[in-house]
Each structure stands twice: as structure tokens, then as C-alpha cells.
Amino acid sequence: MVCLETTGGGLKFKRFRLGRILNAEVTAKQQRFSGLTKAAYPQKYKKTAFAAITVQFDPKRSISKYDFTLKANGKEYPCVAIRKDNGVEKWKFEKTDPESLYTIFFMVNAPNINYGSPLKFDLIYKLHHRGPTSMKLKFKNLGNRDFTSAKNVSRKGMLTVRRTKKTQLSLA
């Protein structure tokens, strides 16, 4: 998975194999998704929370809820839904619109969510053929607040990204 970080004007995004990750958040607030039942997702967590990654896909990409998981402390967490910026929820989008934003939701165990610190997860790409398959992401901890809606996510990005020093290359 290719990972490039960009910073500028305080707004940030991460590039990954399907496009750009613009925002990553986690909340303890209960969420509703079609198909989210105890039978479909029987996980038992100390503190159930939901993580969301808002992305802008490159042209002609497809995505399903089986393509990615999150991982932390040796445990993988399932994707439970994908929503297009207009609110349409599907388990799979055959052809994404590069002008739209998509939010990928995961159900996670987050016992320390009430402490306000960012939470770190690895985004795991399950359909890899070659190259890196994971990327580290820092999620903004929202406590019990709502996720930022896709229409309010900046196209320039809103991730918490560590600033890196610029280096000069000498061609002499």
C-alpha cells in the first residue's frame, strides 16, 4: 500500500492504493447500519466503538466492506458499512465516483475512548496481490460525539499527520 503524507495549511491527507484518506475518526456513540446485527457481528468488546475513514477514490475503483479491516493489538476489526457522501449505504460500490467522498465504517474495541487521546490502528488491505498491505493511521478520538459528515470533510484532508522534515537532494 503506497503511503505518502502531505502537509500544508494545517490540512493533511494520506495517499493509499485506492485514493486519498482525508479523515479518520473514532466515536463511542452508537451507530446504525443496515445489516449490523449481533448475528452478523458477534464480537464481544469491553467498549464497542466505531471508527470511520473518509476517502476520495481514484477513478474507476471499486470497494466492498470485505476489502479492508482495522487492526490493533493483534486483533482485526471488521468493516460494517460504506456510505457515499449522499448517504447511500451499500456493502459494495462497483464503480466509485472520484468527485464523491466515501466513508468506510468499522466496529472496534476501544476501552480507552473516554480518555480523549487519539487511537492508532493499522488499515489492512485484504485483496493484496503484491506490495505493502497495511498502513498506520491515527484516529481522532471524538468521545461520544458524532462523526464529521462527508460533506464537512475538507478535500485537502483533515488527518493528524506527523510533520516530516524536508530534505534536499544534491545532483552533483
Would you kindly state where each structural domain of the chain is located, as residue ranges?
Answer: 4-152
Per-residue model confidence (pLDDT) at position 10: 54
Query: What CATH fold (topology level) applies to the domain 4-152?
Result: Immunoglobulin-like (2.60.40)
Distance CA 54, CA 159 (A): 10
| Four-CA torsion 71, 76, 81, 85, nearest 10 degrees | 10
pLDDT tens digits, 3-23: 444 444 455 899 988 999 999
Per-residue model confidence (pLDDT) at position 172: 37
Neighbouring-strand partners of residue 57: 19
Per-residue model confidence (pLDDT) at position 104: 96
* C-alpha cell recorded at residue 172: 552533483
Per-residue model confidence (pLDDT) at position 165: 42
- Amino acid present at 78: P
* C-alpha cell recorded at residue 23: 479523515
Per-residue model confidence (pLDDT) at position 32: 86
* C-alpha cell recorded at residue 78: 471488521
Per-residue model confidence (pLDDT) at position 41: 76
Residues of the chain with pLDDT below 70 are 1-11, 115, 128-132, 160-172
Per-residue model confidence (pLDDT) at position 6: 47
Neighbouring-strand partners of residue 104: 53, 82
Distance CA 63, CA 101 (A): 12
Residue 74 DSSP code: T
Per-residue model confidence (pLDDT) at position 62: 93
